[in-house]
């Protein structure tokens, strides 16, 4: 075996020092500042109108679906996309009054549209609250499309498994099983409706928070625990958010406990994001700051979720920073 020459050893040493450095370059920090309380604008300069919605991640892109409240009542459903939650591209009105469905904008309106992707059918599926002006219909609706930006077609409208259903959300578990969760029985209970494999219809119902009059439910699954944040039913006015946890989505939910301040920092939950990166995962509470000061100017608020002594915590920050690639966040002045 030949001995390494002096130059050879120098070369080896240089390589050994370089390899970790190259690794570190790949992990370079890239902080994005999230500012709360301001109006979001899209790349055309228009105000982002996507309230009561949710987010769907497709590769590095996040799609935001929500109510267009520019004209207050009878919202159309808008879709935007972003990679950093700061630059928003308007993808179009994916469900439109009178166009997508003859009753929409006439005898029915949509609230809280929620978007999912079904890997089996390769369809994008929207569930939402499908309502009459006086909230007497208490129905839901389902729309479906081959591509995220539409066109969406109505698949079904009605009361899920015959249940009066209002404020709603969806939750897709790690195994792809999806649920529609809504405020049922004249705002008395929450109904957790397990959906069929194609996400088109409910197959079973479980009553959660019985008699506790909760709405705006948002569920996230972290480790072996499900967390559900919800509000009381006080219309557009904010109230104390509460949290419940369970190891099983259908049973064993804890009592409700307060989270955040007594008006949820002037928000009502719309969704909880799971942002995975190379170093960690950031969970983000997203809420609507309704009537700020009127419906069209309602804001979308994003707050990083923290855990203290194993408990989920929600605190308010005017601004904070996230590194999407690494999946970490920091409060703005932290070094």
From the list 236, 276, 281, 319, which residue makes contact with ligand GAL (rule: CB under 6 A)? 236
**Biggest alpha carbon distance in the chain?**
89
CA dist., res. 121 & res. 123, Å (int): 5
User: Applying CB under 6 A, does 266 fall inside the site for ligand GAL?
Assistant: no
| Closest separation in Å from C-beta 237 to ligand GAL | 8
Cβ neighbours for 131, distance < 8 A, ≥ 6 positions apart: 108, 109, 110, 111, 137, 138, 139, 166
| Closest separation in Å from C-beta 26 to ligand GAL | 43
Give residues 148-177 in contact with ligand GAL (rule: CB under 6 A). Answer: 167
User: Applying CB under 6 A, does 230 fall inside the site for ligand GAL?
Assistant: no
CA dist., res. 232 & res. 216, Å (int): 8
User: Applying CB under 6 A, does 268 fall inside the site for ligand GAL?
Assistant: yes
From the list 36, 40, 50, 52, which residue makes contact with ligand GAL (rule: CB under 6 A)? 52
155-163, 232-240, 294-302, 322-330 -> range binding ligand GAL (CB under 6 A): 232-240
Q: Are 329 and 321 in contact (CB under 8 A)?
A: yes
Written as six digits, the tokens of 202 are 């409910």
User: Applying CB under 6 A, does 91 fall inside the site for ligand GAL?
Assistant: no
User: Applying CB under 6 A, does 112 fall inside the site for ligand GAL?
Assistant: yes
CA dist., res. 327 & res. 321, Å (int): 11
Number of residues that bind ligand GAL (CB under 6 A): 10
DSSP state of 212: S
| Closest separation in Å from C-beta 244 to ligand GAL | 18
Nearest Cα neighbor of 192 from 116, 255, 251, 233 is: 251
Q: Which is nearer to ligand GAL, 154 or 295 (CB)?
A: 295
Which residues bind to ligand GAL, rule: CB under 6 A? 52, 111-112, 167, 215-216, 233, 235-236, 268
């Amino acid at each position: 075996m030949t001995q390494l020459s002096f130059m050879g050893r120098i070369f080896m040493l240089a390589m050994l020092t370089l390899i970790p450095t190259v690794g570190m370059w790949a992990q370079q920090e890239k902080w994005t500042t999230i500012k709360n309380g301001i109006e979001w604008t899209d790349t055309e300069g228009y105000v982002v109108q996507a309230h009561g919605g949710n987010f769907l991640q497709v590769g590095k892109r996040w799609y935001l679906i929500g109510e267009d409240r520019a004209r207050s009542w009878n919202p159309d459903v808008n879709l935007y996309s972003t990679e950093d939650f700061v630059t928003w591209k308007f993808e179009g009105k994916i469900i439109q009054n009178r166009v997508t469905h003859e009753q929409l904008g006439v005898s029915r309106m949509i609230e809280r549209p929620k978007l999912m992707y079904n890997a089996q059918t390769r369809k994008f599926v929207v569930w939402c609250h499908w309502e009459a002006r006086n909230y007497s219909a208490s129905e839901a609706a389902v729309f479906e499309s081959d591509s995220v930006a539409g066109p969406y077609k109505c698949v079904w409208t009605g009361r899920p498994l015959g249940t009066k259903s209002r404020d709603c959300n969806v939750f897709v578990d790690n195994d792809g099983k999806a649920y529609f969760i809504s405020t049922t029985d004249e705002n008395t209970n929450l109904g957790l409706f397990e959906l069929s494999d194609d996400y088109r219809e409910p197959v079973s119902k479980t009553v959660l928070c019985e008699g506790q009059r909760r709405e705006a439910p948002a569920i996230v699954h972290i480790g072996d625990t499900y967390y559900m944040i919800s509000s009381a039913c006080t219309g557009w006015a904010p109230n104390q958010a509460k949290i419940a946890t369970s190891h099983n989505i259908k049973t064993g939910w804890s009592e409700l406990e307060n989270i955040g301040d007594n008006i949820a920092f002037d928000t009502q939950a719309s969704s909880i994001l799971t942002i995975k990166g190379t170093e960690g995962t950031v969970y983000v509470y997203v809420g609507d700051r309704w009537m700020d000061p009127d419906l069209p100017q309602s804001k979308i608020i994003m707050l990083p979720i923290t855990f203290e002594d194993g408990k989920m915590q929600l605190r308010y920050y005017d601004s904070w920073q996230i590194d999407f690639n690494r999946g970490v966040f920091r409060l703005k002045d932290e070094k």
